[in-house]
Chain A
Amino acid sequence: MPGLWGPAYDDSAMINKVYPSPQAALDGLIRDGLTLMVGGFGLCGIPEKLILALRDSGARNLTAISNNAGVDDWGLGLLLQTRQIRKMVSTYVGENDEFARQFLAGELEIEFVPQGTFAERIRAGGAGIPAFFTRTAVGTPLAEGKEHHDFDGQTYVMERWLKADVSLVKAWKADTVGNLVYRRTARNFNPMMAMAGRVTVAEVEEIVPVGSIDPDSVHTPGIFVDRIVKTVSEKRIEQRTTTPRA
Chain B
Amino acid sequence: MPLTRDQITKRAAQELHDGFYVNLGIGMPTLVANHVPAGMQVWLQSENGLLGMGRFPYDDEVDADLINAGKQTVTAVPGASFFDGATSFAMIRGGHIDMAILGAMEISEEGDIANWMVPGKMVKGVGGAMDLVAGVKRVVVTMEHTTRKGEPKIIKSCTLPLTGKACIDMIITELCVMHRRERNGRRRFEVTELAPGVTRADVERATAAEIWWSPELKTIQT
What is A's interface to B at a CB cutoff of 8 Å? Answer: 41-45, 67, 90-95, 100, 103-104, 112-120, 122-123, 134-142, 172, 182-192, 219, 235-245
Contacts and interface: CB of A to CB of B under 8 A. Distances in A.
Interface string B59-86: 1001111111111111010000011111
Contact of A243 (B58, B66, B127, B161): B58
Given A120-B86, A120-B89, A140 B162 contact: yes
Contacts of B63: 184
A115 B126 contact: yes
B122 to A, nearest CB: 5
A243 B57 contact: yes
Q: Which of A42, A90, A122 has the most CB of B within 10 A?
A: A42
B71 A192 contact: no
A15 to B, nearest CB: 26
A92 B126 contact: yes
B195 interface: no
Residue of A104, A119, A240 ringed by the most chain B CB atoms within 10 A: A119
B82 A141 contact: no
A91 B127 contact: yes
A185 B131 contact: no
Contacts of B66: 184-185
Contacts of A236: 64
B56 A243 contact: yes
A96 to B, nearest CB: 9
A95 B26 CA distance: 14
Smallest CB-CB A-B distances: 4 pairs: A116-B89, A116-B131, A92-B125, A139-B165
Contact of B59 (A100, A120, A242): A242
A184 B84 CA distance: 10
How many B residues are at the interface, by size bracket?
35 or more
B93 interface: yes
Contacts of B127: 91-92, 114-115
Interface string B75-110: 010000011111011001100000000000000000
Contacts of A120: 86, 89
B73 A239 contact: yes
A238 B66 CA distance: 12
Contacts of A184: 50, 63, 65-66, 76, 82
B49 interface: yes
24 contacts: A91-B128, A115-B128, A116-B47, A116-B85, A116-B88, A116-B128, A119-B84, A119-B85, A119-B89, A136-B130, A138-B164, A139-B162, A139-B165, A182-B82, A184-B50, A187-B49, A187-B84, A189-B85, A236-B64, A239-B70, A239-B72, A241-B72, A243-B55, A245-B59
